[in-house]
Amino acid sequence: MKNSSLDDNKKRINRYCYVALLFLILFFTSSQVYSQTINEQWVKSNYSKREVMIPMRDGTRLYTAIYEPCAHNQKYPILIYRSPYGSHPYGSDFNASLWNSLKGYIQKKYIIVYQDVRGKRMSEGEYENIRPIHLLVPKGQTDDATDMYDTADWLLKHTCNNKCIGVTGSSYLGYYALTAALSKHPAIKAVCPQAPIGDWFMGDDIHHNGALMLTDAFNFLSGFDRPRPVPSKGDYPYKNYYKNDEYSFFLKAGNVANLTSMLGDSIRFWSEMIQHPDYDNWWKERCPFALYKNVDAAVLVVGGLFDAEDAYGTWNSYKALDSKRSGKPLFLLIGPWQHGGWRGQGNYLGDIRFGNTDLNKSFEDAEQQFFDYYLLGEGSFNQTPKATVFFTGENQWRHFSEWPTPNCQPTPIYLNEQDALTFSAPTDEHSYSEYLSDPDKPVPYTKKSSHNRPVEYMTEDQRFASTRPDVVTFETEPLQDNLTLGGELTADLWVSVSTTDADFVVKLIDVFPDDFKYNAAVDGEGNKSKTLMGGYQMLVRGDLMRGRYRNSFEHPQAFVPSKPERVTFKLADVAHTFLKGHRVMVQIQSSWFPLVDRNPQQFVDIYRCSDKDFIPSNIKIFHQKDKPSRLLLPILK
């Protein structure tokens, strides 16, 4: 018995020593990996690159660059970027993102995949902007969802993977991340769409509420959508249509038909778009929102409060996912970023500062933890609050169990006489503000003379506009307490026009106190401009409604001259605190040029009308007892 007990003790000690030794080996091995400096040399020593042409079900082959760990002693998750902009660099060189923005994934030995979508750069096939998705695809036919499904199948068979795939990317890549989820491939466990395109008629880059976003649509489509006869590593020759400032160019160019002639018939989407001036089925089948009920993968939607391109797509993709797939993993991260600003923007936009916290790290940590949880089973991201949103003004992150939050109370704030903005409804029997909208002298959207749209216009000082006679301004008294808005903003106007059509631009503005100055220790260094911040009129949110669509986007209607009518529309969600001592301001105008194309102010086909169709219109904004113009503010209680 004694010897047997001694043997047992020896065995127990040996097991403990073995376990301890194993632990030390694992500890030092992992420490060596995670203490290793991830730089170009390390990546090229530990990763390999191969370029393949993955066949789709119709025989078309898609260029795909695969970066995978050299060691095949374990199975790794796959992270995919599907892009229409090119999977640079082609050839043996490595993508520098691997040792810059993707260090965290490289440390954990993710397989990183870049793919040119069908018809772009080195992939075969024909490209189509916002190609309609059909969940039940006839045999042999394809769309972006089937391309993702076939790509996933191929990767599972030809890489050392753990059968878990994530898809991510920003802007168009964000859209392709969501179409990847629509493929319903069982290996696609998680997608992170950042600033995804949602609906190019209702919002985003090309239109807002039916009005053409002129400078963005023209500059983007004239370059991006030019034909590509054969697969190519680079861009095909691009014509520079103007060298002076955009305001002068577009005003001189005149009507949209003149721009169409300038482009010729080579820009496919532009040519198709002008055949569909209203929200018909051609547009509707290019909006994927109704399909999002079919998404089973976990989703993290990322976007910027001041995204000039795809704020609409970000907010509304999230809302569509939330309303149509209850109970499935869905998260929202919104920061004070411009388009794509979660990678490298910094803590300010234009003259406006957002504090000293590392905003970009908030995104990097969230995205990494999201994929680590759903692709590796590490961490506890599933316990993260459903919505994390940065509130400007107070410059703080807030966390919510849902968005919009139940604590949001839509509260009307009314336009009144003598340019007043109050929470009390007007009592006057006859009251209105009036201005002349002249298409030959459109209101600029920025005070800067620039070649291309400045991203900072989304927070720009609006004092340049408030002095114009064709802009009406309404303002509160200085606030006695902080006023926090979090949610959907609605404009509800009573108007009349002397013609048969007009646009209505509504801007919500934070007016800083006259003695306001930033404190760098609290607010950050900013852009160190010499702008006087006292009295600054910060654009918080602005958008417009093309008047003809006030009752229906499918069936536009002319105004009856001088007849009062109601115009109601939603602006993108807002997350902002008006601090005590600040004022709330609303500006209304009927042009926003050349951000938005000019309305001829007659009920004609704007895509085909002539320059002589553009006429001035006398605009009235009513603020009287029976016609109370107002904004519905999403006030957080």
pLDDT at residue 19 in the model: 39
Domain assignment present for residue 8? The answer is: yes
Q: At what angle do helices 214-224 and 246-253 cross, to 10 degrees?
A: 90
pLDDT average, residue stretch 490-508:
98
Of 258, 284, 310, the position where a domain reaches its end is 284
User: What is the number of structural domains in the chain?
Assistant: 4
Q: What is the pLDDT of residues 195-243, one digit of tens each?
A: 999 999 999 999 999 999 999 999 999 999 998 889 998 766 778 899 8
Of 131, 156, 191, the position where a domain reaches its end is 191
Together in a domain, 3 and 71: no
Domain assignment present for residue 618? The answer is: yes
Domain assignment present for residue 308? The answer is: no
CATH of the domain at 417: 2.60.120.260
pLDDT at residue 101 in the model: 95
Together in a domain, 70 and 120: yes
pLDDT average, residue stretch 552-576:
98
Q: At what angle do helices 172-182 and 144-158 cross, to 10 degrees?
A: 80
Together in a domain, 114 and 251: no
Together in a domain, 95 and 229: no
pLDDT average, residue stretch 604-620:
98
pLDDT at residue 139 in the model: 79
Q: What is the mean pLDDT of the chain?
A: 93
What's the one-letter identity of residue 62?
Answer: L
Distance between CA atoms of residues 491 and 412, nearest Å: 10
Q: What is the pLDDT of residues 239-273, one digit of tens each?
A: 889 989 999 999 999 999 999 999 999 899 999 99
Asked whether residue 450 carries a pLDDT value surpassing 50, the answer given is: yes
- Which residue range is the domain that position 124 belongs to? 40-191
Distance between CA atoms of residues 183 and 150, nearest Å: 9
Q: What is the pLDDT of residues 76-102, one digit of tens each?
A: 999 999 999 999 999 999 999 999 999
pLDDT average, residue stretch 26-37:
50
CATH of the domain at 245: 1.10.3020.10
pLDDT at residue 31 in the model: 41
Checking phi first, is residue 572 left (phi over 0); if not, alpha (psi -120 to 50) or beta? beta
pLDDT at residue 135 in the model: 82
Together in a domain, 490 and 629: yes
Calculate the CA 55 to chain-centre distance.
31
Q: Provide the pLDDT confidence category of residue 22 given band limits of 50, 70 and 90.
A: very low
Together in a domain, 82 and 211: no
Together in a domain, 9 and 48: no
Cβ-based neighbours of 19, under 8 Å, separated by 6 or more:
none
In 3-state terms, what secondary structure has residue 510? strand
